[in-house]
Amino acid sequence: MRPLPFTSLLLALALAGCGGSHADRPLIPDLRSPVADVPVPAGFTLAGDSQSKVDDITRSRWVDHRYKGGDDVLPVANFYRDELPKHDWKLLDQSQPNGKEVALHFQKNKEDLTVTVTKHSFNTQIHIHLEAGKSS
């Protein structure tokens, strides 16, 4: 009887199951996202200093929201690259000034949307800034 190879196989299977957490599965939108056409990944929470306004006359929106969650920067950035076009947002550009931050700039109708995803020590933060587009 050779228990060592069987034990090694069980250990390898257990480690393979544990190692592929958030990075191996796509993020899904939270059904309770505060802005209907700007989804937030499930598991992220809205920070208390977030603000938004809607002008009833012009129907223009201004949103400055911050969220915190546990997923890494690149899966969150990929979430926005995949999800926002489903809500008619067009990706104009993106930048990654360092390995800890990705900024994505979108446009829809006459609105500009910037999504900045930043890795901090104990969490990842998302900054959503939406406003009427600048006139040229």
Output the pLDDT for position 24: 60
CATH number for the domain harbouring residue 38: 3.30.310
Output the pLDDT for position 30: 95
Residue 77's domain comprises: 3-132
Summarised one tens digit per residue, pLDDT across range 32-47 is 999 999 999 999 999 9
Whether residue 108 contacts residue 88, with contact meaning beta carbons closer than 8 Å, is answered with yes
* Residue numbers of the chain with a pLDDT score lower than 70: 1-24, 134-136
Task: Give this prediction's pTM.
Answer: 0.79
Output the pLDDT for position 26: 82
Summarised one tens digit per residue, pLDDT across range 73-86 is 999 999 999 999 99
If one counts the domains in the chain, the total is: 1
Q: Pick the closest to residue 103 from 90, 89, 93 (CA basis).
A: 93
